[in-house]
A = this chain, B = another copy of it.
Amino acid sequence: MNAIAFNTLDARPFVLDRLPAANDAGVRMHYGRDEEIFGEGEASRHVYKVISGAVRTYRVLSDGRRQIVEFHTTGDVFGLDGDRSHALSAEAVRETTLQVVRRDAFLQEQGAEPAIQALLKTFHRAQAHMLLLGRHTACERVAAFLLDFRERAGGVDAIDLPMSRQDIADYLGLTIETVSRTFTQLQAAHQIDLVSCRRVILRNPAALERIRE
């Protein structure tokens, strides 16, 4: 009853709350492109692990600017933003499958060791991203972004970006035009190859690392 009363806008948490409590391993959920996973201000009852696909967590400021806080890809855990309620919103960047577990179960399982490890990892990512946003040029940000996704792809030099230019811009604290221009520059410098706008080949990762610092 509670779940119905507090979730009239969204059927998903309702479904989850009805799951047998014994099922601590959680449940798999599927989301389509741009589908909302949770919204800022919603009660924070679950933790999510990416099985496949990609997720963006973000915040929209009062003037409409959007800051993407993090992209989560296969294996990443997210949803621990905020205390009792979410400080961020989360959406699927593309077709995405998630493992969803109850937040309290996740934080308490097995001496909380997995929870702490996941939290530490997310925290360290956030710190790294903060350092990037501090005082870096557009070129440094884009280079760091590409190298990050190269690493996530297992070190392969051909990357398929799941997200749009707008997503990248909002993640790096730049405009879509600046991101586009920077890609073009890097291509002109023979450091990347833009096969299509979503498919990038890193021609010279070492040079990108030098740019990133």
Contact = CB atoms under 8 A, between A and B. Distances in A.
Interface stretch (A18-26, A61-69, A179-187, A200-208): A61-69
A131 B81 contact: no
A154 interface: no
A120 interface: yes
Contacts of A61: 131, 213
A120 B83 contact: yes
Contacts of A81: 123-124, 127
Among A83, A133, A134, A173, chain B packs the most CB atoms within 10 A around the CB of A134
A50 to B, nearest CB: 18
A69 B122 contact: no
Interface string A121-158: 01110111111011100000000000000000000000
A82 interface: yes
Contacts of A130: 67, 69, 126, 129-130, 133
